[in-house]
Amino acid sequence: MFASQVVRKRVWCFGGGEELKSNRIESKIMAMANLARRKGYAVVLSSRSSFCLTRWRGFASGSEENEVVVIGGGPGGYVAAIKASQLGLKTTCIEKRGTLGGTCLNVGCIPSKALLHSSHMYHEAIHAFGNHGVKFSSVEVDLPAMMAQKDKAVSNLTKGIEGLFKKNKVNYVKGYGKFISPSEVSVDTIDGGNTVVKGKHIIIATGSDVKSLPGVTIDEKKIVSSTGALALTEIPKKLVVIGAGYIGLEMGSVWGRLGSEVTVVEFAPDIVPTMDGEVRKQFQRSLEKQGIKFKLKTKVVGVDTSGDGVKLTVEPAAGGDQTTLEADVVLVSAGRTPFTAGLGLDKIGVETDKIGRILVNERFVTNVPGVYAIGDVIPGPMLAHKAEEDGVACVEFIAGKVGHVDYDKVPGVVYTTPEVASVGKTEEQVKALGVEYRVGKFPFLANSRAKAIDNAEGLVKILAEKETDKILGVHIMAPNAGELIHEAAIALQYDASSEDIARVCHAHPTMSEAVKEAAMATYDKPIHI
């Protein structure tokens, strides 16, 4: 922050005269400097033996201008806005939806996890409670109540973010923003008006949208995106999911548990292509045991919605005889694409790649000075938590600090039952690099906590460099794998070895002991198998 762009708010001065020796002055200055960094103050020397602690506020000289403007209020955008304000920068966030949290909170991560949990409870009540001595005469699905619980969770969380904006003094503008210059954004507000928001630094955080398929029109009734799949008013008898990625498998799992006959159509030869191959095979077998059917290496070539349901014409990806699949609802889940429509990027000359992602440098700066981009609109994993890390790092750079995000160490989770979580490299990636490595595995069938709760499907798999034992990747298929993976994420972040994890005392009985045992299997031998 430059002195010409700040306004002094408060000054605390300390003086000592001749009795303040040089070393005491330096000691106090250092102490005050540490306080300054934490509280947003600056230490100003007024003479050799006195100094002032001055509070600076991050307001630009023009009352209408912001230090930071964020376009988009999703996980990347709202986190960036809050962090910027916490760093003393006057900040405005622009969000077209009218509710904060973006796709993730409104029609993605949060509502899907709510329905995944609700459907899991129903499935457990039917298939597992009896084994634990919990019996009842009947169980039924109250879909409106289930949807209401989901909607309540979303509403509470979106309001919570608005509360965080107020707490952190982030200005919130509800409307659709587009560039009119590298430092000005015209906003068509949701109440029908228009305003111009000025900013020295403007961050694009507009996220992503559903990727469309040629010849397949989404109407959110018969043919739905993930948004429509989260708001169905009836449980479809037959559901076809196009795409075997994270979202498709999660939503297929929801409706499969509630009674739908689910078929997943995937063009690629494997489900979740980014997943470790060995874990993927076990995962697919688990989903098949739950009743989900897979048609891999298959493409959709025709759609007929003229009747009551939907008829899909499919054929082998390499060509061949066509067949027809009938469904009540078809979910299109073939990936996501950066959302930059109507932003006016061409007007200010922001460069994008061939699939529409905005190109940035290591500081998240585009080719246009003062314009930044984070999250799903730039290369890297399209994940909410990655976008959050981008947002924090970006505004730290803007504030003159050092930000950092290592995309090779971003954990990923499929929130089915069992969950599958991973961080670091797959075995296929390690082989491709030509690195000599060791593999350690431990099944949950040998984990006492998993056996005690009768939920012992899955494994932990650890890959480590042979010579140094440095951990290269960790893959977990298990209940709560999404929670267990973070021990591994920390280990990778600090270049830990498998022996480092193995020699940490893990509480007994816990699922996390399987991580310890897999680490023992990597550098030596496990105990319990």
Residue positions annotated with a catalytic role = 508
288 burial type by CB count under 10 A (0-12 exposed, 13-18 middle, 19+ buried): exposed
Amino acid, res. 43: V
As given in the structure block, the two tokens for residue 368 are: 């246009």
CA-closest candidate to residue 76, choices 41, 108, 40, 46: 108
Interior CA angle at 477 toward 445 and 285, to 5°? Answer: 85
Which residue is listed with tokens 């503008």? 173
The residues near 182 (Cβ < 8 Å, ≥ 6 apart) are: 202, 348, 368, 369, 370, 371
The residues near 378 (Cβ < 8 Å, ≥ 6 apart) are: 338, 357, 358, 359, 360, 364, 390
Q: In what order do the strands lie in the sheet with 7-15?
A: 7-15, 50-57, 41-47
C-alpha–C-alpha distance, residues 341 and 34, integer Å? 44
The residues near 372 (Cβ < 8 Å, ≥ 6 apart) are: 201, 202, 203, 204, 360, 363, 364, 365, 366, 394, 398
3-state secondary structure of 134: coil
Q: Which sign, positive or negative, has the C-alpha torsion 318, 324, 326, 329? A: positive
As given in the structure block, the two tokens for residue 173 are: 């503008």
C-alpha–C-alpha distance, residues 425 and 417, integer Å? 23
**What does the DSSP 8-state code read for residue 380?**
S
Please state the residue numbers annotated as binding site: 113, 177, 206-208, 243-250, 266, 335, 376, 382-385
Please, which residues bridge with residue 179 across strands? 185
3-state secondary structure of 146: helix
Please state the residue numbers annotated as binding site for NAD(+): 243-250, 266, 335
Residues 53/12, Cβ–Cβ less than 8 Å: yes
Q: Compute CA 519 distance to the chain's CA centroid, rounded to the nearest angstrom.
A: 27
Please state the residue numbers annotated as binding site for FAD: 113, 177, 206-208, 376, 382-385
C-alpha–C-alpha distance, residues 404 and 394, integer Å? 8
